[in-house]
Amino acid sequence: MSADQIIVTLLGIALSFLAGWYFWFSERKAVKIKTTDSGGQEAFIKVKGGYSPNLLVFEAGKPIKLTFYREETASCSEKVIFSDFNKKATLTPFKNVTVELNIDKPGEYNFQCEMGMLRGKLIVE
C-alpha cells in the first residue's frame, strides 16, 4: 500500500467516525423553555430547512404554546406533525402558526414534517 493510500484510508476512517459521532452521539443543544407569569410555556421555532431550535425542554402539566414561523416556501416543511397527539398544523409561509399542547406525562415527544425529513423533539420533564 502506497503512502497516499494509507493517508486516504486513515482519513476516511477518521471522517466516518467523526460523522457517526456528530450525527448520533454528540450532545445536542436543548433549549429550556421558561414558564411565563401566566403559567404557560411559550416557544418560538423558526422553520427553514429544519426546526431551530429542534430540541426543547418543557415542564410537564403546564400548557405549551409553540409558535412556528416558516421562512421558506419549500414544500417539505409545509406541515408539522405531532403524531403522539394526532395534531397537525399547516405552516403558512412567513406567518406565525401556533400549536398548543398540554402534556402531563413526562417523556420525549417527536415532531416532524410530513416526510420525516425535518425532525424535532420535545422533552417534557
Q: Which positions touch other proteins (CB under 8 A)?
A: 1, 5, 8-9, 12-13, 15-16, 19-20, 22-24, 26, 28, 48-55, 67, 72-76, 78-79, 81-83, 86-88, 90, 92-93, 95-98, 110, 114-119
Nearest distance from C-beta of residue 21 to other proteins, angstroms: 10
Query: By C-beta, is 53 or 58 nearer to other proteins?
Result: 53
Query: By C-beta, is 48 or 102 nearer to other proteins?
Result: 48
Query: By C-beta, is 50 or 59 nearer to other proteins?
Result: 50
Nearest distance from C-beta of residue 43 to other proteins, angstroms: 12
C-alpha cell of residue 8: 486516504
Distances (CA, A) of 94 to 77, 89, 125: 12, 14, 31
Helical ranges in 21-99 per DSSP H: none
- Could you give the CA distance from residue 68 to residue 79 in angstroms, rounded to a whole number? 11
- Could you give the CA distance from residue 80 to residue 89 in angstroms, rounded to a whole number? 5
Nearest distance from C-beta of residue 59 to other proteins, angstroms: 21
Give the max Cα distance, the chain: 68
C-alpha cell of residue 26: 454528540
Query: By C-beta, is 13 or 60 nearer to other proteins?
Result: 13
For residue 108, the cross-strand partners are 123
